[in-house]
Each structure stands twice: as C-alpha cells, then as structure tokens.
C-alpha cells in the first residue's frame, strides 16, 4: 500500500484537533495514538523513498502553478526523526497534569507543521508554514503565562514575523524574475550566476538564517528555548527539532541557488556562531540557558559542515542534525526533571543529582558524552565526518577549538552530578523509559554509525580506524585541556558577568537583522 | 519596474525604519503591518501592470497564463489573499500578547519592559 505524502502533515493535525474535543482522561491516550500513527506513516514513507524520491502535486496542478510535496532520503529521514521525537515526548508527558486543554492540540499540530516544512517544495507554502508554526510556538512558549515568558514570547513572535516579512518580500521579487516558487524548478532555472537574483536571495536567506540562528541573528533563540514557563518537552522540541527546519531550509535554498556561490560567507558565519555560542553558554548559570546557548554553538558546527564544500562533511552535518536532535532533547527533558525536583534553575544550587536521580543522570551523561564527541557515542561519528571534509590544518584546529569549548561547557554542567545529598527521587516508569531510550540511542547511533548512515541515506562513508583512534586521543587531550581551562580561566567572575549581562532589546535585534541583510547583499554584489 | 513596485519598496523600508527606531510596542506591530502591506502591493503590481484586466469573470479567458490574454497574472493575487489572512491572524496574536504584557508591566515601551523582566 502506498502512503500519500499529505498523510504525515494532516494526521497529527487531525488528532490534535480531536484531543481538544475530548475529556482529560481519554485525550492523553488519543494524543499518544495520534503521534504513534504519524510515526508509522513516516516510517512507511521512508521505506517508499528508499527506492527513489516521491512527489505529489496537490489538487492535480503541477508546478509552476500548483504546489508540490516532495520527499527524498533526507526529508523522509527528517520527518521520521520528527515524529519519533514527538511520539516519545508525548509518552513522556503522559503522567503530567495540564491546566489547559490546548496543550496536546498545539503540540500535535506543531508535529504536522514541522513535517510539512520538511516535505513541501513550494516557497510560498513554506512561508505559510513558517508563519503558522511561529504562532503555535509562541503560544507554547508562554504556556504557563508567567510574566517573564510574556516578554520572551512577544519578542519571539515579533522578531520572527519581521523576518518572515523579509522572506515574503524576497519571494515577490523572485516571482517577478523567475515566475515560479517551486524549489526544484528554481534549481533548473538558475543555471548561472544571475545578479538580478541577488536581492531576492538576500531577502530569503536573511529570514532562513534567522530560523537557523546564525550569528548575529541568534539572540531570540535562548530566550525562546530557555524561558522559565515553557514545559521541558516544548524546549526539547524547539531546540532539538524546530531549529533544524531552519537548517533544512538553508540546505534546500542553497541547493536551488547553487549557482550563486556563498559558501565562504556561511563558513565564516558558522565558525563565529559556534565560538560565540559556547562563550555565551559558559557564562550562564541557568541550566536551560546553558543548554540553549549550547544549541547555538552546535548549529554553528552544522553550518560549517554544510559549507566546507566536501560531500563527506555535508553528510556528517546531516548526521549531526539527527544526533543533536536526540541528545539535546534528552538534555532538556532531563533538565526539566531536575528543575522540578530541586525547584531551582541555578546549577550552583544543584548538588548530588546522580545520587538522587540515578537513571535520569545516567541518560544525561550519555547525552553529554554524545554532544562532546566522546568515542563510541554518536557525536564522535558526525564530528569525525565533518573533520574528514575540512582536511587541512586550519580546519582541524578550528573544529578542535569548538569541541574544546563544548567540553568546557559540559564540564561546568556536570558539576551538578557530584555530591551526596537528599533521598532518592521517584521517576514514573514512562519517563524513565523515554530517558533510557534516548540515552541508549546516543550509544547505538555511535557504535553502528557507518551502517546506520548507509541504511538511512544510502551512501557509504568510510570510518578509518586509525583516524578514529587519533580523534579519540585528541578528544582525551581536549578533556584534560578543558578541565584545566575550566579550573583556571572560568574563575574570572567579572568578565563572565559582563558576558552574561549582554542582552539585546527588540530594536537591537531588528537592527541586527537589517545589518545582516545589508552585509550579505553587499557580499553578493561586491564579494 | 513600474510605479507600484517602486512605491512598494519605499513603503517596505518605511516599515523597517519603524521597527528599528520606535520603542513603542504598538508602533512595532503597526510597522510590521506596513511592511506586509508593502509586500502585498509589490505582488499585485508585479502581476498586473499597465492596462490588464482582473483575472476573473467576463474578459478573462481560460487560456494558460501569459498566452496572449490581457488578464493579469492570477497567481500573485491568489497568494495575496492567503498573505492578507495570515497577516491579520499574526497581528491579532501579537496584539493579544501585548495586552497581557501591558496588564503585567503597565508599559508600552520595549526598554522598560526589558528592565522589568530582568528585575523579576
């Protein structure tokens, strides 16, 4: 039986609306059934795309007039990943009480919207999906209606609408030049470097880079992902998956406009983003903010991978998208449990977490080993592939430096596990199961890295044992170095306090968007 | 470039200026509305320049777009209906959130709201 491509978009939306109409007891079960059905459908679509890409023209109208859905290996893997995470997080939420009826509705609708963003081939539909998901995410961020999150939610909403308007203006100019919105048709039309397309491309890319939280457009992200009021599963989805839709759009747009060479620009932007991300993260003491800035740093790393121009590094980047989704959602979910147990978000006030919550701590440690690229864990495979692609000394030093920063950051975070206080906390079975699943996935994706990549994307990567061992030795050296840096350099309180206090108001964020646009346009015309 | 498109670009950057330079949250929402209006103007001006007729009813033909008819391109107009609806929804959500913020902080100023959030 062949599954139509609209199914993973409409099924979760349908179940989401259904949960809104049902009483409290049934709707949790319906939500799990809905997320589970979506997952099954996505897996079946993945099975279908292994024999070749699929496409579906909605309403029987073909591009350039109609809207087309398109699934290749990458997008079908991404929708499967999305639905898998939504499914496990819905199970995770099962025992919790929700004061409002809208939670599951918004949560499942977001699942459908994300699947849509990964599947649709039409730029105008992407604009619509971006706008709607912005509203849904804003509502989920301020879910508990705490006044701090009102401000965070409003900033998030207005910054994203502002940039989406840039996107739409770019589309208008693009339509005038090319007469189509279809990304695959655009790839065929744009065969040479056309200066007339620079301006629309700059408008579109400004918005896409904001979604992907590239430097200097990241200041909305920690606010949105780390806000006190959003439930931890929402933070997990936002940080693990939602930003990936920006990265994916970046990949698709860059492919369509491949005649316009921008790799150097985004390579440098990626390096700056990765470094700034961990510097800000080290300065924080709020556990959710640490993780949010950590996301910025990892996004920079993915951006580097996609722009080195090497095939291996590109696949390393795509694999890192999956890995990051797994370990970052694990870290956010675990952090949410710890916050609920300790009633504080400050990591200096958390002590003896390992004794108190051994299972969650173990899963979190697996995720930390994954994100720092420890041997055998999933991060090491993707980071190894990325460094394969940038096969020169400068690139190697850059990547080692970025990883060093990540390790310092997580050494700082790991201090919460030490100590010996309190009694053991009870963890409900469903949450424990999800944590074990996510933690174990980090290990499985690491040990079977090469076969899994071949299974998912149908390409063969070579993981050279000698090179991998060499990377492991570099990792061990980095840990020692990072510990020394943490011991001696992170003590300088005044400097880190200044970094921590750095915070842009709305007008300055808007200004940075316009500046990015101007600089990028200038780069296109004169660079 | 026809006059509608040039006008749209000017109006768009007027809106951008409003978003960057105004500290008032209501004015930010209004400025974004101005930007959206400019985009709509640009789309419509692109599709139907000069003496084209509306792509509906008598006078329009069922011939493919651009095949010698004098009707305007229908796609930008159809899309702009969607864009207008989305614009209204987004503005409504933004204003609702602003009302909540105003009830909590009692200010319409971005900077004052930020200070109050930091002090909490």
Interchain proximity B120–A162, CB inside 8 Å: no
* CA Rg value for chain A: 22
> What is the token pair recorded at B25?
């949250």
Report CA-CA distances (Å) from A167 to A72, A124, A201.
24, 9, 9
> Three-state SS for A122?
strand
Report CA-CA distances (Å) from A41 to A2, A56, A86, B21.
10, 16, 14, 48
- CA proximity to A316, closest of A198, A174, A307: A307
- CA proximity to B19, closest of A224, A130, A158, A519: A158
Best residue of B117, B118, B119, B120 to probe chain A, by most A CBs closer than 10 Å: B117
Q: What is the CATH number of domain B3-49+72-119?
A: 1.10.287.3510
Interchain proximity A147–B101, CB inside 8 Å: yes
**What is the domain partition of chain A in residue ranges?**
1-121, 141-526
Interior CA angle at A395 toward A292 and A206, to 5°? Answer: 50
In this complex, is the C-beta atom of B76 within 8 Å of any C-beta atom belonging to chain A? yes
Interchain proximity A175–B90, CB inside 8 Å: no
CB A69 within 8 A of CB A121: yes
Q: Check residue A115 and give its pLDDT.
A: 94
CB B22 within 8 A of CB B59: no
Residues 60-99 (A) with a CB less than 8 A from some CB of B = 65
CB A159 within 8 A of CB B90: no
CB A314 within 8 A of CB A306: yes
> Between residues B20 and A149, which one has the greater pLDDT?
B20
CB B84 within 8 A of CB B117: no
Residues 402-431 (A) with a CB less than 8 A from some CB of B = none
Q: How many of the other CB atoms lie within 10 Å of CB of A409? A: 29
A239 secondary structure, DSSP code = I
Low-confidence ranges of chain A (pLDDT < 70): 1, 98-100, 391, 490-492
CB A283 within 8 A of CB A291: no
Distance CA(A171)–CA(A210), nearest Å, equals: 16
> Three-state SS for A121?
coil
Interchain proximity B65–A503, CB inside 8 Å: no
Q: How many of the other CB atoms lie within 10 Å of CB of B83? A: 22
Distance CA(A171)–CA(A178), nearest Å, equals: 10
| Cα atoms in the Cβ-side hemisphere of radius 13 Å centred on A423 | 1
Nearest Cβ partner of B110 from A168, A503, A507? A507
> What is the token pair recorded at A35?
């997320």
Q: Check residue B67 and give its pLDDT.
A: 46
Interchain proximity A506–B29, CB inside 8 Å: no
Nearest-neighbour CA in chain B from A83: distance (Å): 26
CB A114 within 8 A of CB A241: yes
Residue with tokens 């912005």: A134
Report CA-CA distances (Å) from B20 to A510, A512, B10, B17.
6, 9, 16, 5
| Cα atoms in the Cβ-side hemisphere of radius 13 Å centred on A64 | 18
Report ipTM for this prediction: 0.90
H or E element that contains A128: helix A123-141
Give me the residues paired with residue A122 across strands: A182
- Name the closest residue on chain A to residue B64, using Cα atoms: A65
Cβ burial, residue A422 (10 Å; 0-12/13-18/19+): middle
E strands in A59-173: 68-71
Residues 36-75 (B) with a CB less than 8 A from some CB of A = 36, 38-39, 42-43, 46, 65, 75
Contacts 24+ apart (CB under 8 A), A294-297: A294/A328, A294/A371, A294/A406, A294/A409, A294/A410, A295/A213, A295/A221, A295/A225, A295/A239, A295/A243, A295/A324, A295/A328, A296/A213, A296/A218, A296/A221, A296/A222, A297/A273, A297/A402, A297/A405, A297/A406, A297/A409
Q: Check residue B76 and give its pLDDT.
A: 84
- Name the closest residue on chain B to residue A153, using Cα atoms: B97
Nearest Cβ partner of A168 from B5, B39, B120? B39
Distance CA(A35)–CA(A86), nearest Å, equals: 7
Distance CA(A169)–CA(A171), nearest Å, equals: 5
Q: How many of the other CB atoms lie within 10 Å of CB of A314? A: 18
**What is the domain partition of chain B in residue ranges?**
3-49+72-119
Contacts 24+ apart (CB under 8 A), A448-455: A449/A319, A449/A378, A449/A381, A450/A381, A453/A315, A453/A319, A453/A381
* Residues constituting chain A: 527
Q: Check residue A446 and give its pLDDT.
A: 87
- CA proximity to A85, closest of A328, A369, A288: A328
Q: Check residue A1 and give its pLDDT.
A: 63
Cβ burial, residue B3 (10 Å; 0-12/13-18/19+): exposed
Nearest Cβ partner of A165 from B32, B75, B98? B32
Cα-Cα-Cα-Cα dihedral of A397, A401, A404, A410, to 10°? -140
Distance CA(B29)–CA(A165), nearest Å, equals: 12
Residues 330-389 (A) with a CB less than 8 A from some CB of B = none
Distance CA(A321)–CA(A248), nearest Å, equals: 9
């Amino acid at each position: 039986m062949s599954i139509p491509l609209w199914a993973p978009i409409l099924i979760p939306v349908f179940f989401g609306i259904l949960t809104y109409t049902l009483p409290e007891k049934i709707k949790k079960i319906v939500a799990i059934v809905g997320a589970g059905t979506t997952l099954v459908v996505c897996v079946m679509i993945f099975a279908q795309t292994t024999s070749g890409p699929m496409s579906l023209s909605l309403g029987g109208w073909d591009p350039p007039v109609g809207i087309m859905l398109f699934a290749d290996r990458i997008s079908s893997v991404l929708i499967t990943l999305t639905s898998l995470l939504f499914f496990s997080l819905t199970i995770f939420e099962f025992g919790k009480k929700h004061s409002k009826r809208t939670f599951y509705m918004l949560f499942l609708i977001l699942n459908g919207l994300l699947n849509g963003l990964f599947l649709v081939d039409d730029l105008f539909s992407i604009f619509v999906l971006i706008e709607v998901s912005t509203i849904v995410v804003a509502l989920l961020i301020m879910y508990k209606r705490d006044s701090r999150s009102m401000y965070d939610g409003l900033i998030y909403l207005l910054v994203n609408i502002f940039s989406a308007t840039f996107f739409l203006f770019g589309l208008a100019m693009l339509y005038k030049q090319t007469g189509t919105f279809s990304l695959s048709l655009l790839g065929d039309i744009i065969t040479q470097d056309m200066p007339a397309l620079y301006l629309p491309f700059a408008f579109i890319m400004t918005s896409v880079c904001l979604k992907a939280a590239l430097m200097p457009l990241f200041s909305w992200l920690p606010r949105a992902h780390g806000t006190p009021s959003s439930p931890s599963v929402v933070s997990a989805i936002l940080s693990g998956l939602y930003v990936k839709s920006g990265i994916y759009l970046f990949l698709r747009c860059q492919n369509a406009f491949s005649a316009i060479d921008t790799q150097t620009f985004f390579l440098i932007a990626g390096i700056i983003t990765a470094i700034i991300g961990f510097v800000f993260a080290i300065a924080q003491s709020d556990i959710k903010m640490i993780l949010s800035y950590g996301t910025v740093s990892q996004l920079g790393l993915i951006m580097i991978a996609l722009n080195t121009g090497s095939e291996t590094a590109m696949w390393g980047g795509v694999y890192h998208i999956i890995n990051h989704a797994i370990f970052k959602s694990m870290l956010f979910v675990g952090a949410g449990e710890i916050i609920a147990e300790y009633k504080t978000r400050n990591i200096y006030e958390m002590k003896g977490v390992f004794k108190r919550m051994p299972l969650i701590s173990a899963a979190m440690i697996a995720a930390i080993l994954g994100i720092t690229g420890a041997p055998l864990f999933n991060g090491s495979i993707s980071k190894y592939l990325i460094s394969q692609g940038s096969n020169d000394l400068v690139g190697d030093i850059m990547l080692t430096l970025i990883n060093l920063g990540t390790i310092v950051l997580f050494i700082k975070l790991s201090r919460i596990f030490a100590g010996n206080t309190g009694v053991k906390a009870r963890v409900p079975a469903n949450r424990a199961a999800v944590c074990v699943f996510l933690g174990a996935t980090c290990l499985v994706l690491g040990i079977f890295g090469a076969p899994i990549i071949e299974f998912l994307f149908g390409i063969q990567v070579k993981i050279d044992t000698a090179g991998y061992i060499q990377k492991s030795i570099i990792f061990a050296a980095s840990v020692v170095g990072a510990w020394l840096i943490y011991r001696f350099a992170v003590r300088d309180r005044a400097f880190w306090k200044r970094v921590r206090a750095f915070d842009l108001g709305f007008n300055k964020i808007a200004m940075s968007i316009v500046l990015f646009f101007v600089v990028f346009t200038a780069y296109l015309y004169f660079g | 470039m026809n006059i509608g498109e040039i006008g749209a670009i000017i109006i768009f950057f007027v809106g951008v200026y409003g978003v960057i330079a105004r500290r008032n949250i209501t004015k930010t929402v209004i400025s974004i509305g101005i930007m959206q209006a400019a985009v709509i103007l640009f789309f419509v001006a692109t599709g139907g320049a000069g003496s084209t007729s509306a792509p509906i009813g008598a006078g329009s033909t069922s011939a493919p777009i651009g095949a010698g008819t004098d009707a305007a391109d229908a796609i930008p107009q159809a899309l702009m209906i969607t864009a207008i609806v989305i614009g209204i929804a987004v503005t409504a959500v933004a204003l609702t959130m602003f009302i909540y913020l105003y009830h909590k902080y009692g200010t319409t100023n971005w900077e004052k709201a930020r200070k109050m959030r930091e002090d909490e």
